[in-house]
């Protein structure tokens, strides 16, 4: 989190969002200063030296401080719970949920500019927040939106690379292949080959990252239209913002769907650094792989059933409930179906989380969207019943640390309502949104000179011998 010293800046912010007076005395309030500088790159050039000095001070003064104890359970359990990554853009609290640069999702919805008054936040605004730690004004967001549109050009060879795959290939396979093809234009790779000084690594990384963020909606929408709409491509509309343009290129123009896409991209953008896709992007980038290579690797992690593919599994499971029991299923019938799923050795998709110990705030804001825009949708009503039925059952099992719904429990139902019914494609939407968080952190990885990631591994024999010695 970046702290700003100017009292004048605080006064400007207080006048701009005075209704949030309860935040005035908080640390987060100080970070929300406005800036007259409309250019994102210029702001980063100002912020990065401050953060580089901050990192040096932390390493010097706190480098030997203990952050916790490593247990055998952590080593054998996928490093779960280990504190081992620096991830500036967001922080996930087990009881509170995700905060983007210190701001909760409800705070982001209130403070970040929308396309219309009281509308959902624009993803461009969240990108600005992730990169700078500041809440942007509407002019800054509009300027960034235009810059992303100007960068949104995809060479024909990218589409040809996708076309070389069978149309039956999974959408994530086609999407990741398109991102890999984009890598040919990497500015970081060109600069590195010319011998750029490491203190400047962040600048070509910034160019690659904004180019990638701008272009992935075109690649993702091409994949969708190729698979499901007979290859009839819809060009981008330079009058639309990032989320709305993505929806437009997919072929969905309902104003409510545009708002949903803005919300979707915003809340799925980042979830601290320990999840598979974020960690993979960070790990690969630590080898100085460029943003395209790093993000493509992250997408391959996101495609796994235990990560991003879960949003596909949720809608398919919900539809299986409807197919067997009908749309007007009672809570008693639903209770029986949940037990049937569990007794067959399967899980109820969309419930539980590796870190959270409460209902996912991303689920909550999607529920609020549904209550506002589609309260009578049968599948939404079924999701609401699941919220009442599933947690008590999972609690009764006694093995589940978090019986509450996560983000995947709701997103598919909203997309399905507006006509995006192809569940196999949902993870691609997740991937587009995750580009904002992964690329924002990657720019800061380069700016702070974070090193090659290389944790120590051990064998079972080593664990047994070491524990005997310390017993």
Q: Is the dihedral of CA 203, 204, 209, 210 positive or negative?
A: positive
Query: Are 426 and 411 spatial neighbours (Cβ–Cβ below 8 Å)?
Result: yes
Query: Are 277 and 299 spatial neighbours (Cβ–Cβ below 8 Å)?
Result: yes
Query: Are 411 and 311 spatial neighbours (Cβ–Cβ below 8 Å)?
Result: yes
Neighbouring C-beta atoms of residue 418, cutoff 10 Å: 19
Query: Are 429 and 310 spatial neighbours (Cβ–Cβ below 8 Å)?
Result: no
Residues in the chain: 471
Helix (H) / strand (E) containing 90 = strand 90-93
Torsion angle of C-alpha atoms 341, 343, 344, 345, degrees rounded to 10: 100
Which residues pair with residue 93 across a beta bridge? 97
| Residues identified as active-site | 307, 353, 408
* Alpha carbon distance 238, 227 (integer Å): 25
Query: Are 132 and 2 spatial neighbours (Cβ–Cβ below 8 Å)?
Result: yes
Query: Are 433 and 278 spatial neighbours (Cβ–Cβ below 8 Å)?
Result: no
Q: Which two tokens stand for residue 230?
A: 């007979």
* Alpha carbon distance 174, 179 (integer Å): 9
Angle at 16 between CA 11 and CA 20, to 5 degrees: 90
Q: Which two tokens stand for residue 63?
A: 């480098």
Neighbouring C-beta atoms of residue 175, cutoff 10 Å: 28
Q: Which two tokens stand for residue 451?
A: 């090193």
Which residues pair with residue 99 across a beta bridge? 91, 104
Q: Which two tokens stand for residue 353?
A: 């989380």
Strands laid side by side in the 97-100 sheet:
90-93, 97-100, 103-104
* SS3 of residue 165 by DSSP: coil
Exposure string (b/e) for 306-327, b if CB count within 10 Å is 16 or more? ebbbbbbbbbebbbebeeeeee
* Alpha carbon distance 282, 465 (integer Å): 33
Query: Are 413 and 367 spatial neighbours (Cβ–Cβ below 8 Å)?
Result: no
């Amino acid at each position: 989190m970046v702290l700003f010293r100017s009292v004048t800046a605080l006064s400007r912010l207080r006048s701009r969002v005075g209704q949030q007076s309860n935040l005035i005395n908080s640390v987060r309030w100080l970070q929300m200063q406005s800036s007259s500088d409309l250019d994102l790159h210029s702001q980063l050039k100002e912020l990065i030296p401050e953060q580089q000095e901050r990192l040096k001070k932390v390493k010097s003064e706190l480098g030997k401080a203990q952050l916790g104890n490593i247990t055998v359970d952590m080593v054998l359990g996928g490093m779960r719970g280990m504190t081992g990554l620096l991830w500036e853009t967001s922080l996930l609290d087990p009881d509170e949920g995700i905060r983007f640069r210190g701001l909760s999702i409800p705070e982001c919805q209130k403070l970040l500019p929308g396309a219309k008054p009281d509308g959902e936040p624009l993803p461009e605004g969240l990108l600005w927040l992730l990169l700078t730690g500041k809440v942007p004004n509407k002019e800054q967001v509009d300027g960034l939106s235009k810059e992303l549109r100007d960068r949104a050009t995809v060479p024909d060879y990218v589409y040809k690379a996708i076309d070389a795959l069978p149309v039956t290939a999974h959408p994530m396979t086609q999407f990741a292949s398109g991102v890999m093809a984009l890598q040919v234009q990497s500015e970081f790779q060109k600069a590195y080959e010319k011998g750029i000084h490491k203190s400047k690594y962040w600048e070509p990384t910034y160019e690659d990252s904004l180019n990638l963020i701008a272009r992935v909606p075109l690649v993702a929408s091409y994949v969708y239209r190729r698979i499901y709409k007979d290859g009839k491509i819809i060009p981008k509309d330079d009058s639309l913002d990032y989320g709305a343009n993505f929806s437009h290129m997919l072929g969905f123009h309902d104003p409510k769907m545009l708002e949903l896409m803005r919300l979707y991209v915003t809340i799925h953008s980042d979830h601290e650094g320990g999840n598979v896709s974020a960690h993979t992007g960070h790990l690969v980038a630590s080898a100085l792989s460029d943003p395209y290579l790093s993000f493509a690797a992250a997408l391959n992690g996101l495609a796994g059933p235990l990560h991003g593919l879960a949003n596909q599994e949720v809608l398919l499971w919900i539809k299986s409930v409807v197919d067997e029991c009908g749309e007007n299923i009672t809570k008693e019938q639903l209770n029986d179906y949940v037990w049937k799923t569990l007794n067959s050795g399967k899980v109820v998709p969309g419930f539980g989380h590796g870190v959270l110990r409460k209902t996912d705030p991303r689920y909550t804001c999607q529920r609020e969207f549904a209550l506002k825009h589609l309260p009578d949708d049968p599948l939404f009503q079924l999701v609401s019943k699941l919220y009442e039925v599933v947690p008590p059952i999972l609690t009764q099992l006694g093995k589940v640390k978090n019986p509450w719904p996560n983000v995947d429990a709701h997103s598919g139902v909203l997309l399905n309502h507006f006509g995006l019914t192809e569940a196999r494609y949902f993870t691609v939407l997740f991937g587009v949104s995750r580009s904002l968080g992964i690329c924002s952190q990657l720019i800061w990885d380069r700016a702070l000179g974070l090193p090659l990631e290389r944790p120590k591994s051990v064998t079972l024999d080593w664990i047994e011998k070491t524990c005997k010695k310390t017993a």
